[in-house]
Amino acid sequence: TPGERREDALAACALVPTLLTALHRLGEGLEPVEPRDDLPYAANYLHMLTGQEPSQRQVRAVERYLVSTVDHGFNASTFTGRVIASTGADVAACLTGAIGALSGPLHGGSPSRALDTLDAIGTPDRIDGWIREHVLAGERIMGFGHPVYRTEDPRSRMLKKIAREFGGPLVEFAVQVEERVQAILEELKPGRELHTNVEFYAAVVMELSGLPRTMFTPTFCAARVVGWSANILEQAEDSKIIRPAARYTGPVPPEPVPAI
């Protein structure tokens, strides 16, 4: 029923952050940390992940990141969840399918790869040479470009502001890299409008908030499960199955198809 489906969605949204943090700690040989009733969502998430009570700056940074990534139109994972919901499947099946779509590197990607890029460049004097080498080799620069946006990703602008609130060498270096990458991409790929996407400064913010890199994408999932659930509940109200049409564009058959 709609009521049962809503209860399932609420349960999943509550369970996911607890499950993710517990699995991470078990994978590191640590005991899971019990959630606390006296901490708000983001603070509780960081506490269950690290075992320490986070600073207010860390809490506020992660909170704003989670809000900014909770939903983003009909992206691949949201569309997948809605397609499954249109079949009448339960909430768990819809969320599992959405996570399957998110696991693809062209969709969810991994914000940690943006930090890997900063690590690989190393110092400001290596930025131009490193970027030119990889762009000319046809490689993608992690944290830049978006399938929809042809301007600056507004989420990236907000996360850049949050990163600057932390300050420090990592933030300064990230800003330098962003400026040079965009200039070089405009020079080598004029008119493509390749700007920073949500991954670039999200990686910096999560690093400064104390999240291990292996938890960057799961943290994104902890936010997006709320948006997925809202879409799933909405789609479930429609009794029609989502069934897109497709047009065959392959080789013509050796014999004409008989007219009927």
Q: Is 75 helix (H, G, I), strand (E, B) or coil?
A: coil
Q: Which two three-digit tokens encode residue 161?
A: 């502001």
Q: How far apart are CA 99 and CA 225, in angstroms?
A: 9
Task: Give catalytic status of residue 195 as yes or no.
Answer: no
Amino acid identity of 194?
Answer: L
Element spanning 166, H or E: helix 154-166
Annotated catalytic residue: which of 63, 178, 199, 207?
Answer: 199
Task: Give catalytic status of residue 146 as yes or no.
Answer: yes
Q: Is 106 helix (H, G, I), strand (E, B) or coil?
A: coil
Annotated catalytic residue: which of 146, 178, 195, 207?
Answer: 146
Residue of 53, 39, 19 whose CA lies nearest to 219: 19
Q: Which residue has 């078990």 as its token pair?
A: 26
Structural contact between residues 220 and 69, judged by C-beta atoms closer than 8 angstroms:
yes
Return all residues near 72 (Cβ < 8 A) that are at least 6 apart. 78, 227
DSSP state of 196: B
Return all residues near 35 (Cβ < 8 A) that are at least 6 apart. 18, 44, 47, 48
Name 144's bridge partners.
196
Neighbours of 167 (CB within 10 A): 10
Which residues are annotated as catalytic? 146, 199
